[in-house]
Amino acid sequence: MRKLLHYMKPYLKECILGPLFKLLEASFELLVPLVMAAVIDTGVGQGDRAYIYRMCLLLVGIGAVGLAWALTAQYFAAKASVGFCTRIRHAVFAHIQTLSFSQLDRAGASTLMTRMTSDINQVQSGTSLALRLLLRSPLVVFGAMLMAFTIDVQAALVFVGIIPLLAAVVFAVMLWTLPRYKQVQARLDRVLGVVRENLSGVRVIRAFGREDSEARRFNGENEALTRLQIFVGKVSALMNPVTYVLINLGTVALIWVGALRVQGGKITQGQVVALINYMALILTELIKLADLIINISRALACAGRVESVLEIPGGMELPSNGGAVGADGSVAFGDVCFGYDGAAGESLSHITFRAAAGETVGIIGGTGSGKTTLANLIPRFYDASTGRVLVGGQDVRDWPLETLRGRIAVVPQRAELFSGTVRENLLWGRADAEDADLWQALETAQAKDFVESAGGLDAPVAQGGRNFSGGQRQRLTIARALVRRPELLILDDSMSALDMATEAALRRALLALPQKPTLFIISQRAASILAADQIIVLEDGEAVGIGDHPTLLGSCQVYREIYESQFGGEGTA
């Protein structure tokens, strides 16, 4: 919570003024029983009708001023709580943008989404309530006690006895429920997880006829959530009745003491009524406070969850001196090792190679051999554990990150597009590209035909690009990368959904690009990388062969096996 409070800073003024006006309003409310006591004792006691009218006019006046102050307080509270959460939302979103790929892998999109939406909303309503009411209730309670002292010290001691008891009940319930609300939210996360999974895996689940067991799993999670909610609710529901009983016992004690004092002639009957009214005031205040505390407990639980996102350490260390920019699109790896967080072994070990600008490098190897990992080190999506990755002769850790990534275009394995139009998606590559550039990129990516028939650059793209087929999405993501006119282009197995004819045409077009980027092609298919200047053969994270096709055929056993598994028996080569 402490970390989040920092975002409240610009609203410091509102945070002070809001509760302050609320306090003013509350203190006016405290005057009401006094005035009423005067009405009873002076007005009724002495039969002074004019006095009664005057006092009642005073009551209306007090109400009106209280209203004005309350409105002011509401405004400040709303402004502060909304502003506070707007800033938090900004901070969390901005922070997510800086997370490294491995951190994103670990956090998971669905949790990040709940934290950004429902958790922050809870924090907002909790803050607004706290600003308006949190100070008010204790003030009314203590104010009522003070007022009681002005009436009669002995009677007021009843208040002194009862208030700590009330506070103990309130805090005990709060302390008990706070961690439980966190558990409730976590349970809700799991329910959400099951739903998400059932949507994304609907085909497999139905194909295996597992609908019933999935429903059972969901019902299990759902039931567990319900039970926990009922259980937490049961305990937090104790707060009101217990305080209610305590206060009434207080009233009983108060009346008894009052009776003794009246008998002794120390106070009047009207003053006893006033004392009872103050006790009643405490009761109504505490009922509000109970609701408030339930809400605030929930908000605190949610705030903790939001904060935990912010506490994920920022992704990368950036060069402190602004960085240095490399010369060209050449790439060199010097004894690079890399292991994913929490993984048992290294994903890449001791990789060394050099690729001149404009060269084509093929990366081939078995499933899980480290191909994607190697490519991910070039735009510094991950940092090498040891060794150096150089782009344009400069260590990637010395490049300003944005500049580095601006020179490189990556086409990832998973073809992801964003809702909008084809044009908007392509402009991600380069914001100031002309339509002609876009069409050219589409043509190179073999995407011109279907984009034309879909309605041109303004054709809509649905969320995730789901209105295009897998192969079309891949070609659009390639076009997006080409729009950038990168010095370095990385295709991470991004032609897998294309049929052979399309892939071949695409590859020819890529090789004929006028600006000749350094081209990294990751593929499972030997055919895709045969023509490369240099082929890196990976196996279990090690480079077992580096060289061109004829060399590797002669010298690298693994490469030969891959090649023969694809071309063998046909004699095409």
Partner 1 sequence: MKQAGAQKETLKKVLRYVARHRLLMAGSVLCAALSVACTLYIPVLTGGVVDHILGPGRVDFAAVAAGLLRIGLIAAAGGIAQWLMKDLNNRAAYRVVRDVRADAFAKLSRLPLRYIDGHPAGEVVSRIVADVDQFSDGLLMGFTQLFTGVLTILGTLLFMLAVHPGITLVVVLVTPISLLAAAFIAHRTYSMFKLQSQVRGAQTGFMEEIITGQKVVQAFGQERKTLERFDELNTQLQKASLRAIFFSSITNPTTRFVNSLVYTGVGIVGALTVLSGGLTVGQLSAFLSYANQYTKPFNEISGVVTELQNALACAGRVFELIDEPARTPDAPDAVALNAAQGRVAIDDVCFAYQPERPLIEHFDLRVEPGQRVALVGPTGCGKTTVINLLMRFYDVDSGSIAVDGTDIRRITRQSLRANYGMVLQDTWLKSGTIRENIAFGRPEATPEEVVAAAKAAHAHSFISRLPQGYDTPVGEDGGSLSQGQKQLLCIARVMLHLPPMLILDEATSSIDTRTEMRIQRAFAKMMRGRTSFIVAHRLSTIRDADVILVMRDGHIVEQGDHATLLQKGGFYKELYESQFAGNLPFS
| Residues 292-331 within binding reach of partner 1 (CB under 8 A) | none
Which residues within the stretch 225-244 sit at the binding site for partner 1 (CB under 8 A)?
A: 225-226, 229-230, 233-234, 237-238, 240-242, 244
Q: Which stretch binds partner 1 (CB under 8 A): 2-10, 69-77, 382-390, 433-441?
A: 69-77
Which residues within the stretch 197-226 sit at the binding site for partner 1 (CB under 8 A)?
A: 197-211, 213-215, 218-219, 222-223, 225-226
Please tell me whether residue 386 binds partner 1 under the rule CB under 8 A.
Answer: no
* Cβ atoms of residues 493 and 461 within 8 Å: no
* Cβ atoms of residues 132 and 220 within 8 Å: no
Which C-beta is closer to partner 1: that of 335 or that of 515?
515
Dist. CA 87–CA 96, nearest whole Å = 14
Minimum distance of partner 1 from residue 473's CB (angstroms): 10
Which residues within the stretch 492-521 sit at the binding site for partner 1 (CB under 8 A)?
A: 493, 496-502, 504-505, 507-508
Minimum distance of partner 1 from residue 458's CB (angstroms): 19
Minimum distance of partner 1 from residue 173's CB (angstroms): 12
The residue among 426, 399, 428 whose CA lies nearest residue 328 is 399
Query: Under 8 Å CB-to-CB from 42, ≥6 apart: which residues?
Result: 48, 51
Given 20, 30, 34, 52, the residue binding partner 1 (CB under 8 A) = 52
Given 531, 542, 544, 547, the residue binding partner 1 (CB under 8 A) = 531
3-state secondary structure of 484: coil
Please tell me whether residue 452 binds partner 1 under the rule CB under 8 A.
Answer: no
Minimum distance of partner 1 from residue 393's CB (angstroms): 21
Dist. CA 156–CA 3, nearest whole Å = 41
Which residues within the stretch 31-50 sit at the binding site for partner 1 (CB under 8 A)?
A: 32, 36, 39-40, 43-44, 47, 49
The Cα-based distances of 272 to 39, 40, 256, 269 in angstroms read 13, 11, 10, 5
Q: Which stretch binds partner 1 (CB under 8 A): 9-17, 97-105, 164-172, 390-398?
A: 97-105
Which residues within the stretch 394-413 sit at the binding site for partner 1 (CB under 8 A)?
A: 402, 405-406, 409-410, 412-413
Query: Under 8 Å CB-to-CB from 434, ≥6 apart: which residues?
Result: none
3-state secondary structure of 433: coil
Which C-beta is closer to partner 1: that of 310 or that of 334?
310
Q: Build a one-symbol-per-residue string for 458-497: x at contacts with partner 1 by CB under 8 A, - elsewhere.
A: -----xx-x--xxxx-------x---x--------x--xx
Which residues within the stretch 178-197 sit at the binding site for partner 1 (CB under 8 A)?
A: 188, 191-197
Dist. CA 354–CA 334, nearest whole Å = 8
Which C-beta is closer to partner 1: that of 226 or that of 335?
226
Which C-beta is closer to partner 1: that of 417 or that of 457?
417
Given 268, 297, 494, 518, the residue binding partner 1 (CB under 8 A) = 268
Query: Under 8 Å CB-to-CB from 370, ≥6 apart: which residues?
Result: 347, 348, 538, 540, 541
3-state secondary structure of 297: helix
Dist. CA 258–CA 511, nearest whole Å = 99
Which C-beta is closer to partner 1: that of 34 or that of 334?
34
Q: Build a one-symbol-per-residue string for 101-140: x at contacts with partner 1 by CB under 8 A, - elsewhere.
A: x--xx--xxx-xx--xxx-----x---x---x--------
The three-state DSSP-derived secondary structure of 74-93 is: HHHHHHHHHHHHHHHHHHHH
Residues in binding contact with partner 1, number by CB under 8 A: 185
Angle of the 120-129 helix axis to the 49-98 helix axis, nearest 10: 150
Minimum distance of partner 1 from residue 329's CB (angstroms): 16
Minimum distance of partner 1 from residue 76's CB (angstroms): 10
* Cβ atoms of residues 510 and 502 within 8 Å: no
Which C-beta is closer to partner 1: that of 330 or that of 523?
523
The Cα-based distances of 87 to 13, 109, 124, 298, 540 in angstroms read 16, 21, 11, 20, 45
The Cα-based distances of 387 to 334, 341, 352, 489 in angstroms read 6, 17, 9, 23
Q: Return the exposure string of 301-340: e unless at least 16 CB atoms fall within 10 Å of the residue's CB, then b.
A: bbbbbbbebbebeebeeeeeeebeebeebbbbbbebebbe
Which C-beta is closer to partner 1: that of 156 or that of 427?
427
Dist. CA 457–CA 435, nearest whole Å = 8
Given 174, 273, 312, 459, the residue binding partner 1 (CB under 8 A) = 273
Minimum distance of partner 1 from residue 368's CB (angstroms): 5
Please tell me whether residue 27 binds partner 1 under the rule CB under 8 A.
Answer: no
Amino acid at residue number 176: W
Which residues within the stretch 324-383 sit at the binding site for partner 1 (CB under 8 A)?
A: 340, 343-345, 364-369, 372, 379, 381
Q: Where are the alpha helices (DSSP H) in 378-433?
A: 401-407, 422-427
